[in-house]
Structure 1
């Protein structure tokens, strides 16, 4: 594996790091209070080439590899992990749309995602579940050169901010399970769409909610993938986003550890710095080791994808391990900061709430471990 960057990639990563420090970090708390990612900020990232840089230049990207995309996402997340969800969603949607959508649908969405003019979302989860494709109830009925969608999607990130949703709907029978599901690009300003927003513990700048479909018409040109094969085909793109989410969470943990190492050198107790106590430094050393391992798993998954090699197992490892580890690291850093860490004057409590949600969204640890096991023993039962 080779994680080396060329001059252009290094320059882009430097731009992302500066943008995170100068434009994102100072407004991290304010962005949570407002509950929105500023559209102008998203467009600014697009102008700098910081959104989906792996997309070919012909479609508005920079034509770089997926590893570079991951490093940019990681850099953005050091300033605000919520804003980094823009990168994750744009990369996930672009990869699916470019591979399976019609030219008309590609032109209508991908350049806008890369420029920051459009914000997308993905609709899998429903009130009855998400990972269980057999339970999906959103219905899409063919009507000439359109489909008519009826039903509900819930727990959708960016539900009330996104311009469109890549919605998975049943075109076949429940008995067909995943093979009866199709995917559609749905304009969220279309007639028949209504949306709600949840009051969540964290990730308030991203937001989560429900999308309701009441006789929503979608042109057949905006179906992504073959009819009845949307779930099987399009869900393959989640291997990419799972590795990106891993780096998103690792960035938060990295910042917390850096701040804590500095803190324990400055904070005095019993006449000496906290750093003189192995009871403080040894746990941090262990967390550093684990974080390095988790980051390498994420980078390996992205490198494998960039080489067009199978990376499902590594992506699932990244998705269950990195968010869990990041939460544990933020918690430990908060505790070391004592009463100050527990206050809202320091960012640890918000980071802990924000990173916690990634243990649930886009596939729980249980699902990820099931995927890893299947890679070794196949489906049993």
Structure 2
């Protein structure tokens, strides 16, 4: 039997987050962007509401929520403040990596601080010469006694300027391509760590930038999982973050549609509400339909993950189409709201800038199409 309904607990969680998002996050969404300030107090507030620790087990201070519930949080927080949805998406990915692969000592130290919102953490995989191609990673981690010495540069890292800790990927075996990559927990305040921010067009408060490592020493217990297996061990985690990104973007787009529907119902032109014109109502219907399709594919993917079933191609489809359809919908809403929507007095232009960034992050459209093609055609498929 198919059942597309949420449980009573999930519905109550959605309603609580919707109210919080629209009343406490949305009014200041543009403020943080214009001031370039990261609202750490709201990050901690999300921790108090249980958002940061959704994928953290209860024994470490989280709620151990299922993936579908985590998706609800991504969608609803995305309505109020797109950037604060990283408390769902980024924390969900990192919590799963630590909980599934790290030593107990690392879990006990970091998971409670992630859940509470006391610490902001990031994931450092991308480099200037290595994005989708993990085998191109040039950062190194050389074992020296009971420590590893890390050197290299990471680029395009979310939370680079605001993070307290990063999961860093580096080569521990220079001859094994992506199989020679290991993952480490690296606190920001270690000697040799330097973080510099970018002047991005969007996602301003999330502090994207580069991380430079110069002889950074980390103890061997900071290795996550097995040496040389870091990349393969955590790739499954990206299926979760890709599904959450789709809902994060859809949430921002749905809110834009809701605001625009109210506008076209009350704004008159030639004696009639704008909503009476098919040239206005049909585009709204067009984008609503696309977003609904993405939303339910995302929840299907999250349900599959909760059931322990394969969901990589579902995650990839949501990742490449979710940000695309969302930015197209927000763009249309901006146009339907007229010239005021092009100013920074309304949130539409910022949502557009913010969502475009996630057409790149966690895998471009082309990279995600590779994933789908490999599943549809078979392992022998090698894209060029």
TM-score for the superposition, normalised by structure 2: 0.96
What is the match of residue 281 of structure 1?
281
Q: Distance in 2 between matches of 1:85 and 1:36?
A: 15
* Separation of aligned partners in 2, 1:117 and 1:137: 32
Question: Does residue 133 of the first structure (1) align with residue 143 of the second (2)?
Answer: no
- The residue that corresponds to 1:248 in the other structure is 248
User: In the alignment, which residue of structure 2 is the partner of 1:15?
Assistant: 16
Deviation readout 1:180-232 (Å, 9 max, x if unpaired): 10000100111110110000000101121111111111111111121101011
Alignment match, 2:321: 321
Please show how residues 263-278 of structure 1 align to structure 2 within 5 Å: 263-278=263-278
Matches of 1:198 and 1:296 in 2, distance apart?
34
CA distance in 2, matches of 1:350, 1:280: 22
Correspondence for 2:118: 117
State the secondary structure of the residue aligned to 1:196. Answer: strand
- How does the TM-score come out when normalised to structure 1? 0.97
Indicate the residue corresponding to 2:43 in structure 1. 42
Query: What's the CA shift for 1:3?
Result: 4.3
Report what 2:80 is aligned to. 79
Query: Is the contact between residue 46 and residue 87 of structure 2 (CA under 8 Å) also seen in structure 1?
Result: no
Partner of 1:30: 31
Which ranges of structure 2 fall in alignment gaps of 5 or more residues?
none
Q: Single out whichever of 138-147 and 336-345 deviates more from structure 2.
A: 336-345
In the TM superposition, residue 37 of structure 1 has moved relative to its aligned partner by 2.6
Q: CA deviation at 1:359?
A: 0.2
Match of 2:145 in 1: 144
Whether the 8 Å contact between 1:16 and 1:50 is mirrored in structure 2 is no
- Kept in 2, the 8 Å contact 1:225–1:234? The answer is no
CA distance 1:192–1:2, shift in 2 (3 Å): farther
In 2, the alpha carbon distance for the partners of 1:54 and 1:229 equals 23
- Provide the secondary structure at the position in 1 that maps to 2:149: strand
8 Å CA contact retained: 2:313, 2:372: yes
The answer as to whether partners of 2:55 and 2:95 remain within 8 angstroms in 1 is no
Deviation for aligned residue 1:35: 2.2
Distance in 2 of aligned mates of 1:244 and 1:5:
17
Query: In structure 2, the residue corresponding to 1:205 is in which secondary structure?
Result: helix
Is 15-24 or 152-161 further displaced after alignment? 15-24
On the 8 A contact 1:162/1:188 being kept in 2, the answer is: yes
C-alpha distance in 2 between matches for 1:14 and 1:285: 24
Cα shift readout 1:1-27 (whole Å, capped 9, x = no counterpart): 544333433333222222212221111
Query: For the aligned residues, what is the CA RMSD?
Result: 1.3
Q: 1:6 — aligned with what?
A: 7
Partner of 2:166: 165
CA deviation map 1:271-294 (0-9, x unaligned): 111111111111211111111101
Separation in structure 1 between the aligned mates of residue 310 and residue 380 of structure 2, nearest angstrom = 18
Q: Quick one: distance in 2 between partners of 1:215 and 1:245?
A: 34
Comparing 313-322 with 282-291, which one deviates more in the overlay?
A: 282-291
Measure, in 1, the Cα distance between the counterparts of 2:8 and 2:187: 39
Task: Provide, for residues 143-202 of structure 1, a one-character-per-residue CA deviation record: whole Å limited to 9, x for no partner.
Answer: 1111110111011011010010001000001x4111010000100111110110000000
* CA distance in structure 2 between the aligned counterparts of 1:23 and 1:45, rounded to whole angstroms: 11
The match for 1:303 is: 303
Structure 1 residue aligned with 2:349: 349
Q: Aligned runs of 1:121-270 on 2, under 5 Å?
A: 121-173=122-174, 175-270=175-270
Say if 2:373 and 2:381, in contact at 8 Å, map to a contact too: no
Q: Secondary structure at the match of 1:14?
A: helix
Aligned pair count reads 380
Separation of aligned partners in 2, 1:35 and 1:311 = 37
Using the alignment, how far apart are the partners of 2:198 and 2:212 within structure 1?
Answer: 14
- Decide whether the 8 Å contact of 1:35 with 1:206 is kept in 2: no
CA–CA separation in structure 2 for the residues paired with 1:54 and 1:183:
20
Distance 1:374 1:167 in 2: 27
What is the CA–CA distance in structure 2 between the aligned matches of 1:285 and 1:255, rounded to whole Å?
14
